[in-house]
């Protein structure tokens, strides 16, 4: 159950307000963006949904995004000049393109690995930049209230070679530019994460919040490498990798899958698992078994129907394990199929 109509907030400028996210460089976030759109609509919001995508996102995946309610705008990526080639942060300065959405007076940016559990339309009444705090002085750029402006965009671009980001990414850069920002409660961007120093009562509290129904949190942010749609639905696969266990929560995992199950069935195909990802999941499970991880998730028999569902030419994923470890990078982008291109507009390029 999601809290929706009771929390709705009317704004006279609603027609000029939108939720926005961005996808570039990889397609494995498409399923997450589709679920995010579903969660926004389940919360009762009727604002526009705008997604910025680059040329790496296939026409097939764009069709799924459009079917989920996203309005597509094409854009050119912006390279982080301080990133090494092919690093995770190489293109994350592309987020600056949000300020070019000048057809809107205000947008709420959300990362594509978030769920909106309760209506947050009231944030449109907040100024730029409104965000949750990472600590006493810095904000988290995963959810932000932004006021599009070509002047602000140019300011961001003019300083791109001089301003040093504290974390090497867009968040550090934006914190250097927007030193005066507006703090909103952590429940507006609650991180799916357990800190090493969390006391047992804190862990219990977080676990309760992750699975609360009706929800207490407004926004749940699925941090970590293994996103819910990249795991089998049976349990959070972060449990099977020791360095990812700080991101593991079966309660948060179930919350995401409730949203997935509420999606129209024709959108489920965009959340199927590639054969390579199935091999990765089995490899991780075997390593957890060898290590006899005490949480015991590796013992759970997989019932997820996606295990036996194949949409690729090669489906014998078990054979990949014969040489796994030599090359074992994964992603969940699906094969490109022929479909009618959705309507899309392009942002001005540099």
Q: Hey, how many other C-beta atoms are within 10 angstroms of the C-beta on 274? A: 21
Question: What is the 3-class SS of 274-329, one letter each residue?
Answer: CHHHHHHHHHHHHHHHHCCCCCCHHHCCCCCHHHHCCCCCCCCHHHHHHHCCCCCC
In this predicted structure, the answer to whether residue 281 has a pLDDT above a threshold of 50 is yes
Phi/psi class of residue 328: alpha, beta or left (left: φ > 0; alpha: ψ in -120 to 50)?
Answer: alpha
Judged against a pLDDT cut of 50, whether residue 339 lies above it is answered with: no
What CATH code would you report for 1-350? 3.90.550.10
Q: DSSP labels for 208-270?
A: HHHH-SS-S-SEEE--SSS-GGGS-TTS-GGGGSGGGGGG--HHHHHHHHHHHHHS-GGGGGG
- Is residue 324 within 8 A of residue 279, CB to CB? The reply is yes
Quote the pLDDT of residue 89.
86
Taking the C-alpha atoms of residue 115 and residue 106, their distance in angstroms, rounded to an integer, is: 20
- In degrees, to the nearest 5, what angle opens at C-alpha 174 toward C-alphas 98 and 161? 95
Q: What is the mean pLDDT of the chain?
A: 89
The residue among 89 and 202 whose pLDDT is bigger is: 202
pLDDT of residue 316: 86
| CB contact set of 169 (below 8 Å; sequence gap of 6+) | 80, 89, 92
For residue range 221-242, what is the model confidence (pLDDT) as tens digits? Answer: 999 889 999 999 999 999 999 9
- Return the SS3 of 85: coil
Please provide the size of the chain in residues.
350
Q: Which two tokens stand for residue 173?
A: 């850069």
Distance separating alpha carbons of residues 115 and 199, to the nearest angstrom = 26
Pair type for strands 106-110 and 114-116:
unpaired
- What are the residue ranges spanned by the domains of the chain? 1-350
- Cα separation, 325 vs 327, in Å, equals 5
Average pLDDT over residues 27-37: 95
H or E element: which one contains 41?
helix 30-42
Confidence of residue 58 (pLDDT cuts 50, 70, 90): very high
Provide the pLDDT for residue 326. 56
DSSP state, 134?
A: S
3-state helix, strand, coil in the chain (%, to 5): 40, 15, 50
β partners of residue 21: 51
pLDDT band at 333 (very low <50, low <70, confident <90, very high): very low
Maximum Cα–Cα distance across the chain: 61
- For residues 148 and 32, the answer to whether their CB atoms sit within 8 Å is no
What percent of the chain is predicted at pLDDT more than 70? 88
Task: Label residue 197 by pLDDT band (50, 70, 90).
Answer: confident
pLDDT per position as a tens digit, 143-173:
999 999 999 999 999 999 999 888 889 999 9
């Amino acid at each position: 159950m999601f809290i929706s109509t009771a929390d709705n907030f009317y704004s006279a400028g609603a027609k000029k307000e939108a939720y926005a996210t961005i996808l570039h460089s990889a397609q494995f976030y498409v399923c997450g963006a589709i679920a995010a759109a579903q969660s926004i609509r389940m919360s009762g919001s009727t604002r526009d949904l705008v997604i910025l995508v680059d040329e790496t996102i296939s026409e097939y995946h764009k069709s799924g995004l459009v079917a989920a309610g996203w309005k597509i705008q094409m854009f050119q990526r912006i390279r982080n000049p301080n990133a090494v080639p092919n690093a995770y942060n190489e293109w994350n300065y592309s987020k600056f393109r949000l300020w070019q959405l000048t057809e809107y007076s205000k947008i709420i940016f959300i990362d594509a690995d978030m769920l909106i559990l309760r209506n947050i339309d009231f944030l449109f009444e907040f100024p730029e930049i409104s965000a949750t705090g990472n600590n006493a002085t810095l904000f988290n750029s995963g959810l932000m209230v932004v006021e599009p402006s070509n002047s602000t965009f140019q300011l961001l671009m003019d300083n791109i070679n001089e301003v040093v980001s504290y974390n090497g990414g867009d968040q550090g850069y934006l914190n250097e530019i927007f030193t005066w920002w507006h703090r909103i409660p952590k429940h507006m961007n609650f991180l799916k994460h357990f800190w090493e120093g969390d006391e047992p009562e804190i862990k219990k509290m977080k676990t309760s919040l992750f699975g609360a129904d009706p929800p207490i949190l407004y926004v749940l942010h699925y941090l970590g490498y293994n996103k819910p749609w990249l795991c089998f639905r049976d349990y959070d696969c972060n449990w099977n990798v020791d360095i990812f266990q700080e991101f593991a929560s079966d309660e948060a995992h179930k919350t995401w899958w409730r949203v997935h199950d509420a999606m129209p069935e024709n959108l489920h195909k965009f959340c199927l698992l590639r054969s390579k990802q199935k091999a990765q999941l089995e490899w991780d499970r075997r390593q957890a078994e060898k290590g006899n991880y005490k949480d015991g998730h590796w013992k759970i028999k997989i019932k997820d129907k996606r295990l036996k569902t194949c949409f690729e030419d090669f489906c014998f994923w078990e054979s990949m394990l014969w040489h796994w470890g030599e090359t074992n990078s994964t992603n969940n982008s699906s094969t490109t199929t022929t479909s009618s291109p959705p309507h899309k507009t392009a942002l001005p390029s540099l």
